[in-house]
Amino acid sequence: MSFSRAVLVVLDSVGIGAMPDWREFSDDMPGDTLGHCAELRPLRLPNFERLGLANIRPFAHLKRAESPQACYGRCALASPGKDTTTGHWELAGVILQRPFPLYPNGFPRGLMEEFERRIGRGTLGNRPASGTEIIKELGEEHLRTGKPIVYTSADSVFQIAAHEEVIPLPELYRICETARELLRGEHEVGRVIARPFTGAPGAFVRTANRHDYAVPPPPGMLLDVLAGRGVSVTGVGKIADIYLGRGVTQSLKTKSNSDGMAKILDAMRSQPEGLIFANLVDFDMLYGHRNDPEGYSRALEEVDAWLPSFEAALLPGDLAIFTADHGCDPTTPSTDHNREYVPLLAFGPSAARGRALGLRASLADIGQTIAENFGARAPAGQSFLSDLRA
């Protein structure tokens, strides 16, 4: 074992440029999430610059470090897809052979009829939509009828929105569990998502009680093999939901990026060994999907400003890895995810510095690196652990 603790932080949707096959996954323009944000206005990212972010590739207004303090590179997605489940599964060594199903015209009528029969209620919506827009549009009818709002997106998701005073959280979660049981075989979507909200018409607000019901990952993925080695794993954010809790010793839910960053530091204070695996979701959920490049840029700067606190909390035997799972370019006409390369920054007090890790063929390389560090082996990926030894 080279490092006693690994801290893996996924900057959800912070892609760094379109992959060559992007047209197979979108009829939109090619995504370049970080690149396009940097072109719109200068980004204040001195700490990411110091680590070597602009050494991965040129970005407008960002400076290349003469002596990067991290090893740096970028990863491709080997799986067919551009969503959270695909990216996180690949991080754990699971490379999909076929993408999760999509529903650009809503879910089949027969499927919805069976779902309504099982939950004993009719439904509203059943089409691709922005979550905030569809509750604004159908929320009042939902209050009147008690029918949950079902919608999807350009990702493989079956989302169910309900007012917490109309359908209490335990019942909403049961409805989502029913959907998860139903959505198998050809309709096995990547995630069923509970989207509770509160408030009055004209002022509906989604709450932090979201819950994701993912497809069970195949056995033997990264967190399974770490559990087999007795490695403690703390999941921060939606990590436990994505992997159905498998191999997660402790789960810390988060309300925002700022809460997530605080919870990462909490985990680092309480868990001196093992893996801390975090997802910072605001980039994707609040800004990418809402075409808000200024919000996205501010969120990047907030994480950059937090980095010195994160680095101060690193122990001598720590390895930190920052990456992403896909893109979600807030500057493109669409609100969909983008098929993009993702950044790779790896650093720690005793790790090598300034080494170029190149273009990795898969996000699975990150998972394999962590697996090898703890004496295990993930199903896929080429470890770069030897490159990180000082």
Largest CA distance in the chain: 64
pTM as predicted? 0.89
pLDDT over 70 at 53, yes or no: yes
- The pLDDT value recorded for residue 79 is 96
Average pLDDT (164-189) is 97
Higher pLDDT, 335 or 142: 142
The Cα–Cα gap between 35 and 12 comes to 15
Bridge partners, 205 (sequence order): 198
Structure tokens at 314: 């690193």
Pick from 14, 91, 57: nearest CA to 358:
57
pLDDT over 90 at 25, yes or no: no
Pick from 275, 278, 264, 250: nearest CA to 371:
275
Strand pairing class (356-360; 71-75): parallel
What are the angstrom distances between the C-alpha of 150 and each of 109, 127, 173, 310? Answer: 13, 7, 14, 39
- Tell me: the pLDDT tens digits for 232-286? 999 999 999 999 999 999 999 999 999 999 999 999 999 999 999 999 999 998 9
What are the angstrom distances between the C-alpha of 329 and each of 3, 18, 122, 317, 374? Answer: 34, 10, 35, 35, 35
Residue 128: pLDDT band (50, 70, 90) is very high
Domains of the chain: 5-99+215-388 (3.40.720.10), 109-214 (3.30.70.1250)
- In the block, tokens 């960002």 appear at 62
- The pLDDT value recorded for residue 28 is 73
DSSP states along 296-324: HHHHHHHHHHHHHHHHHT--TTEEEEEE-
Q: Helix or strand or coil: residue 87?
A: helix
Q: Helix or strand or coil: residue 371?
A: helix
Bridge partners, 212 (sequence order): 193
- Tell me: the pLDDT tens digits for 30-41? 999 999 999 999
- The pLDDT value recorded for residue 291 is 94
pLDDT over 90 at 74, yes or no: yes
- Tell me: the pLDDT tens digits for 191-208? 999 999 999 999 999 998
Distance in Å from the first CA to the final CA of the chain: 14
- The pLDDT value recorded for residue 27 is 66
Residue 45: pLDDT band (50, 70, 90) is very high
Average pLDDT (31-57) is 98
pLDDT over 80 at 354, yes or no: yes
What are the angstrom distances between the C-alpha of 143 and each of 95, 100, 262? Answer: 42, 32, 36
Residue 361: pLDDT band (50, 70, 90) is very high
pLDDT over 70 at 306, yes or no: yes
**What mean pLDDT is reported for the chain?**
96
